[in-house]
Amino acid sequence: MLIRLQRVVRYPGTPLLAAVRTSFGHIAVRWCGDRAAEPGEYDVEWAIDEVIVWGRNARPAAGVGPGLRTGGHCVVLRGRLGLTEDGVALLDLDGTNIPLNPADPPPADAVGTWVELFVDRHEVSLRPRVP
C-alpha cells in the first residue's frame, strides 16, 4: 500500500513511530524501516501483532469505506473483514490484505462487512517493501 510518511520519531522507551497519511486517514504506528527515512511516499506492508477479540478490540464499523484514525492510546483501522479458504482472517484495508491473529474465528455474519479494529499503536507496524 502506498502511504505518505510525514516523519519518523522515537520517544524515550518506545520503538520508532511513523506518522503516516493516506487518502482515508492518518495515524502514527511502529516503523520497521530506516530511522533516517525522509518524508515522502513509500510502498509498505502492514502487520498487526495484537490478538483480535471480537467485541473487545474488533466490532462492526459505524461507517463504510476504509479508514485510519487515532482513538486515545490506540489506532482505529476500518476495513472489510475477510477469510481465506483455509480460515485465515484478513482485514482488507483499501485493497491491501492484512493478516489478523484472532483469538477465535470471527462471527460468520461479520465476514465481508466493514469492521473497526482498536489496536495499540505499537502493535501495528509498517515495513517498506523491498523493490
The pLDDT confidence band at residue 8, using thresholds 50, 70 and 90, is very high
Residue written as cell 498487526?
Answer: 48
Does this model's pTM top 0.85?
yes
Residue 36, all three cell numbers = 533516517
pLDDT at 61 over 90: yes
